[in-house]
Structure 1
Amino acid sequence: MHPQSESDGSVVDDNAVQLPFTGVRGRRKICRFTTIDLPSTQPAYRILVGSNCAPVETPYLVDVLPSNTEILPVRSQGPVVPLAGLPDDHPIVQKSKTLKHKKSLQALVDQVDIKTLEKDVTWLSGEASGSPFITRASTSKQSLEVAEWLQSQFESYGCDSVELMHYRERFGPNVICKFKGTEHPDEHVIIGAHHDSRGSLFNPRAPGADDDGSGTSMLLQVARIIKANNVKFGRTFVISAFSGEEQGLFGSAALAKKMKEYGTTITMMIQGDMLAYRKPGEPIQIAFPARYHTPEVSALLRNVTQLYVPDAIVGTTGACCSDHQSFWENGFPATAFFERNGPIADPKYHNSGDLVHREGYDFEQLRASTKAMMASVFEVADAKYDA
């Protein structure tokens, strides 16, 4: 998950950071960034924005900057032209008109199981006995190992295909599981999360239990329930575990660009990022983005959430920006799910203390988010199952 930008009340520092490096053609170049410090009400971190150097020009930049900095990518495809709105005959608009509660779907989403969520998250965070993982940082050797483990899990859950999508040298791959649609195989519904993580400066551990082990465990849970109930889909259903999110949405940008170039029809893409932290004393919440989203999609999924997870308080967050933004920027309908209305509250955000076994990490919160996301994609992908 990326932090909020200056539009959320942060203060811009007029002093630019200048970082020399050797560019892709061996030429010495100065990269200039503007720094932004978030207000004291937010977790402490600094954002780097407005780089005059594209990420491809600075392949090692992420290794020399402190881990609590963010690099917002320079989009090489030119000005962002997101989807302006959905036509009346779009499946999202039509679903909004006909949406109603289904007891059979409620029975499916109620199968979301805390024990298996905990098993998967603690394995990813390295807290489970026998887990080999110390870090899931995108450029670490273990990023590939995590991707290969996820590949094996998705294969065991019966995906029609599982691909390791390598998109950039030194980065772990995306993991893409597909269930081919039976009626509209050329229409795609995508659910995503990112399997990479970040830690504290000079600390080799990057467990990322909330950011975004919670989202990754959600993906595994959805796949598990598909297999357990022999679920089929009218539209092709894609589960995507991205890498490179923390360095600037690199993995999702590569997939979104590829799908756009191929002329792929994407009915909806949704992202789950940071789903498990609940600030002590607060109720279970599910939040949708205030920006970088398709309003019609967010409106539909708010209603889906209220139907199938009625105990959760549904609202809006200014926290951004996760992998759904890559699809939104490429003109695809997209939105995201987040753990809290309002700003980020997790005190271990982008910290080596982002573990499961700590105050505030709440599996009831994660279960609610998983139920809402699963109900959403099953509705839009036209899931078929025994009632």
Structure 2
Amino acid sequence: MLKFECIKAIILFSLTTLPPQHTALSSSDSNSQITFQSNHYQLHSTYPSYHGLTSAGQDLWIQSEAELEHITTTCPNSLIFSLAPSEINRALIYQTSQSNPNLDQWWTDDLSTLLTGLRHREESHVIEYNQSDCKSTILHVNKTVLLRLPYRSLRSFVSLLPTHIDAVVHQFHSNLHSHPVKIDSTLQQELGKIRYWPRFDRLISSINPAYFLADTHTLIGSHTNRPRWRTRHSFTDGGIRASRWIKIQFEQMGAKCELQWYHQTFSPNVICWFDPTNPNLAQKGRVVLGAHYDSRSSFGVVSAPGADDNALGCAALLAIARSLRRNQVPIRRSIYFLAFSGTEQGLWGSQALARRWASEGIEVALMINANMIGYRVPGEPMQLGLPIQKPYSKLSNWFIANLTNIYVPELLIGSTPRQGGDEQSFGEIGFPSTSIFERAGKIANPYFRSSDDSLSKPGYDLTQALTIAKALVCLFLFIHLLNFLSL
């Protein structure tokens, strides 16, 4: 079981109404220039001198990011959370026009409600501190709040966190001693080979819908004959149990697996792989398919089924692996299937693994992240959304789009402004990567990050999820089969 010791977390609430890519802190007393490099957005600001009182009545001054890092290092195993507006359209939350001027006031009210709930939870039980421990702190300046919590309070905090607020754990990164080898040329070579091969059609359709549905029900905790859990949140026992179940499924297919325990408070990453069939014909560069398995719930609710976000994405990983193994597809590059934790807290799991691979000099030919593939707005066609191009995703997007147009033409391909998923962790350090999304446009799922994210809700489309999985099977077949086919 996950043990919550009296470790401390520093939580920075940044609840401004600016877009998440450029969220600014503000105060009338500004001293030092800093840049916060966050996982979901880059935060440029003049960091203010915050002065306030801790819950113990002690003065606390924060003057720079360096001082904030000092507070972290002097509080053993502490964390810093940056909370910012979620990428979900707030009109879906408030059921009103996005331009409604009342949105800002409602947003501010949400902050006050959250803080009141946190104070109430802290006062409702006594927390024993050692002399070396850091005290809980709430510091409120304008729309920015600095909060330090003992880790034993994190579960309560998670249950209070509204759906439309992102809790991003800020990490102070040390310089990597080595850098990944960039092999974009691999994708460029493969792009020139794209064409129609009749044999692919039969293989692409080999995904078993019954297994796919059963795996999804297991992950959301609704399968009657399999292990069950109410949530897969990264800070819970349910997350740990889900990770172990995923690992077992891949091992039963013959994969080699490991659990990466990258932090004592998070459930682990699941890392599974299949080695090349013939080592003498093996090519450099791992081909990676990832999906996060952790989930989030509604405000004040423990249950977090996370069907669209992201049980269906994880079920797609399992379905693709089964299809490749069932058809005995020859493997010429190592295939890695990754199930991440810590995504909802700021890509902690994927960053931990990407940095590990970078430090080891691992080569990655392509990384694809499957995140939210099962919701379709009623009346819209089935779609495949690719993120607005970044340097590390341009070739990857072209590769996926061209293959999908040829082999899965029923999917309408377009761009989505959604970004900042686990593919970013790999892309920012040099690995070619991209993500696939259920819609060519913004998030439209009204049950996003809520306890209602369930297959029973209108708009959840298993056919679309399976069709997107077919596109991924096509990609893996193309990469691994092309040199083995008699053309």
Match of residue 222, structure 1, among 320, 326, 345: 320
Q: 1:279 is aligned with what amino acid?
A: V
Taking the aligned partners of 1:341 and 1:20, their CA distance within structure 2 comes to: 46
Superposition RMSD in Å? 3.7
CA distance 1:152–1:210, shift in 2 (3 Å): same
Taking the aligned partners of 2:197 and 2:455, their CA distance within structure 1 comes to: 33
Q: CA deviation at 1:149?
A: 0.8
Alignment deviations for residues 143-172 of structure 1 (CA, whole Å, 9 cap, x no partner): 11111111111011121x111111111211
Match of residue 206, structure 2, among 108, 111, 114: 111
TM-score, scaled to structure 2:
0.68
Q: Which has the higher contact order (CA 8 A, sep 6+)?
A: 1
Please say if residues 122 and 128 of structure 1, whose CA atoms lie closer than 8 Å, have aligned partners that are also in contact: yes
CA distance 1:128–1:20, shift in 2 (3 Å): farther
Count of residues in Structure 1 that have an aligned counterpart in Structure 2: 375
Taking the aligned partners of 1:300 and 1:30, their CA distance within structure 2 comes to: 38
Please say if residues 229 and 385 of structure 1, whose CA atoms lie closer than 8 Å, have aligned partners that are also in contact: no
Q: 1:70 is aligned with what amino acid?
A: D
Taking the aligned partners of 1:308 and 1:58, their CA distance within structure 2 comes to: 52
**Could you tell me which residue of structure 2 aligns to residue 342 of structure 1?**
441
Taking the aligned partners of 2:333 and 2:448, their CA distance within structure 1 comes to: 35
Please say if residues 260 and 330 of structure 1, whose CA atoms lie closer than 8 Å, have aligned partners that are also in contact: yes
Taking the aligned partners of 1:9 and 1:266, their CA distance within structure 2 comes to: 27
Please say if residues 211 and 273 of structure 1, whose CA atoms lie closer than 8 Å, have aligned partners that are also in contact: yes
**Could you tell me which residue of structure 2 aligns to residue 262 of structure 1?**
360
Please say if residues 192 and 239 of structure 1, whose CA atoms lie closer than 8 Å, have aligned partners that are also in contact: yes
Taking the aligned partners of 1:31 and 1:208, their CA distance within structure 2 comes to: 25
Q: Does 1:237 align with 2:335?
A: yes
Q: 3-state SS of the aligned residue for 1:246?
A: helix
CA radius of gyration, larger in: 2
**Could you tell me which residue of structure 2 aligns to residue 141 of structure 1?**
237
Residues 190-205 of structure 1 aligned to structure 2 (within 5 Å):
190-205=288-303
Taking the aligned partners of 1:10 and 1:20, their CA distance within structure 2 comes to: 29
Gaps of 5+ in 2: 1-16, 28-47, 56-70, 95-105, 112-143
Q: 2:230 is aligned with what amino acid?
A: I
Q: CA deviation at 1:115?
A: 2.1
Q: 2:429 is aligned with what amino acid?
A: N
Taking the aligned partners of 1:52 and 1:327, their CA distance within structure 2 comes to: 31
Taking the aligned partners of 2:53 and 2:469, their CA distance within structure 1 comes to: 41
Residues 179-190 of structure 1 aligned to structure 2 (within 5 Å):
179-181=274-276, 182=278, 183-184=281-282, 186-190=284-288
Q: CA deviation at 1:71?
A: 3.0
Q: 1:269 is aligned with what amino acid?
A: M
Please say if residues 306 and 453 of structure 2, whose CA atoms lie closer than 8 Å, have aligned partners that are also in contact: yes
Q: 2:442 is aligned with what amino acid?
A: P
**Could you tell me which residue of structure 1 aligns to residue 424 of structure 2?**
325
Match of residue 248, structure 2, among 142, 152, 155: 152
Gaps of 5+ in 1: none
**Could you tell me which residue of structure 1 aligns to residue 384 of structure 2?**
286
**Could you tell me which residue of structure 2 aligns to residue 99 of structure 1?**
194
Taking the aligned partners of 2:397 and 2:337, their CA distance within structure 1 comes to: 19
Q: 1:112 is aligned with what amino acid?
A: I
Taking the aligned partners of 1:10 and 1:37, their CA distance within structure 2 comes to: 13
Taking the aligned partners of 1:79 and 1:315, their CA distance within structure 2 comes to: 36
Q: 3-state SS of the aligned residue for 1:98?
A: coil
Taking the aligned partners of 1:58 and 1:291, their CA distance within structure 2 comes to: 40
Q: Percent identity?
A: 28
Q: CA deviation at 1:11?
A: 8.6
Q: CA deviation at 1:309?
A: 0.8
**Could you tell me which residue of structure 2 aligns to residue 26 of structure 1?**
75
Please say if residues 43 and 345 of structure 1, whose CA atoms lie closer than 8 Å, have aligned partners that are also in contact: no
TM-score, scaled to structure 1:
0.85
